[in-house]
Structure 1
Amino acid sequence: MTSTSPIAATSTSTPAPAIALQDLEKSFGAIRIICGIDLVIPAGERHAVIGPNGAGKSTLFHLISGHYRPTAGSIRLNGEEIAGMAPEKINRRGLSRSFQITNIFPQLSVWENIRCATLWSMGYRYAFWRNVERLADAREKTERILSEINLLHRWNVPAGELAYAEQRALEIGLAIAGDASVLLLDEPMAGMSHAETERMVGLIRTVSEGRTLLMIEHDMSVIFGLADKISVLVYGELLASDTPENIKSNAAVQQAYLGTEAA
């Protein structure tokens, strides 16, 4: 019998999807939050998840990143099953995420925040006899990432003293410092001004080059300008998954979420 699974085995010449979900479900007691989602995100795609409040978007991210264990279904990262795996193990397999609430080390400098993330990814472990200041490769990588996120000029500032938009940029730097091939960004533009949003969009466009991006965002102008594909989640079900142009013209999506914005 021919398989109709969205994650059916591919030929050796076709790379596995970056993320593949099959029959994914999550319930809390009798309440179903995620209701049998099937979704395939190819490597290198910028993919956005939108939907009204309470649709299950953050729960979906928690499932993919390992913070929640699914009630049922499959989650594959680059072809490897990760459903129920601990977050740190998923991270080491190439997935990194940001959260709605900024998650940095406020007492450490901007430089120290990024260097901490780079050391583990480069194979360095704690050793009291090692002077990290002498690790030229870690220093070079830290400097490169700070340049990429436009914070090199703020390298010695305590992270907690950065402006809000700068803290969000630093969090993205932490996400890419571990050489993740898949980035999950949860509302990266939340609370930003128009000018800050424009700068953040440029940063995300830059850091997602050569990576797979899955993001939640409520700013429709950002979504339609940045995403290759958009998935619409309503009451835990996948209503549509298509190009921005087709999502704009989808009557069911307009009725469920976009409303007059689609015009």
Structure 2
Amino acid sequence: MNPALELTGLTKAFGLAQIIRGVSLEVAAGERHAIIGPNGAGKSTLFHLISGRIRPTSGEIRLDGRRIDGLEPFEIYRRGLARSFQITNVFPKLTVFENLRCATLWSLGYRYDFWRPVERLRDAREKTDRLMEEIGLGPRRNVLAGVLSYAEQRALEIGVTIAGGAKVILLDEPTAGMNAAESAHAVALIRKVAAGRTLIMVEHDMGIVFDLADRISVLVYGRIVASDTPERIRANAEVQEAYLGQAAGP
């Protein structure tokens, strides 16, 4: 069985600066995989490469056994990989329902059609309603996304990320900027939406990482120095020295 996502010898250089230095990684289908590392380690660059925002200098990226390196982001999305960003990325002047409905249309086979009123698309409406309840924003259905709380906007973005039916989802610091209560709610939501999907996330909160991840990979200066279970990562002396420090203590 093919891994859900496979990176082989992946590199990325900007001029003389080597940012990603030969990353090889396999993520199994259904796995919750965290990528951690100090600032400047290359985590965001790695996500950009996987999601097609930038192209690798060398190496291969395979999604369910098929190469996707070199494809445009929308092509990768249509093959089943979706990504959220550090900065909330929703349509602020559309309602919660309208944001989610926009994201569901392609997955249902609808294309640009000036003659078919979107309000008449019952299947799109029903799928959007289910998704809205899944992410806990049912009561906020008709609220403009721009006036939602930050945590609600992040939940909406996760909803948009999974609306297209992606089997692999990339979450970039999903709890950044949240207080403890908001983070706990976000973790519960991530657990819920990750069920039956493959999750790869970048997250700085080690408590959340060790709570959520099945496996953790540690990226330091563009190289993966360890990839293992949370328990073994916590006990890894090289990882403690490179990144975790006291956070890895008992």
Match of 1:222 in 2: 208
2:47 to 38, 41, 61: 61
Instruction: Say yes or no: does 1:29 pair with 2:27.
Output: no
CA-to-aligned-CA distance 1:150-198 (integer Å, 9 cap, x gap)? 0011010010000000000000000010000000000000000000000
Instruction: Say yes or no: does 1:103 pair with 2:89.
Output: yes
Amino acid aligned to 1:47 = H
Alignment of 1:13-24 (within 5 A): 15-24=1-10
1:185 to 171, 185, 205: 171
CA-to-aligned-CA distance 1:77-135 (integer Å, 9 cap, x gap)? 01000111100000000000000000000000100000000011111112122121111
Match of 2:230 in 1: 244
- For structure 1, the residue ranges without an aligned partner over 5 or more in a row are 1-14
Report the Cα offset of residue 260 of structure 1: 0.7
Separation in 1, partners of 2:55, 2:70: 5
Moved segments of 4+, more than 4 Å: none
TM-score by length of 1: 0.94
Alignment of 1:36-185 (within 5 A): 36-185=22-171
- For structure 2, the residue ranges without an aligned partner over 5 or more in a row are none
Separation in 2, partners of 1:126, 1:230: 41
Separation in 2, partners of 1:101, 1:72: 28
TM-score by length of 2: 0.99
Match of 1:7 in 2: none
Q: Helix, strand or coil for the counterpart of 1:37?
A: strand
Amino acid aligned to 1:248 = R
Equivalences, count? 249
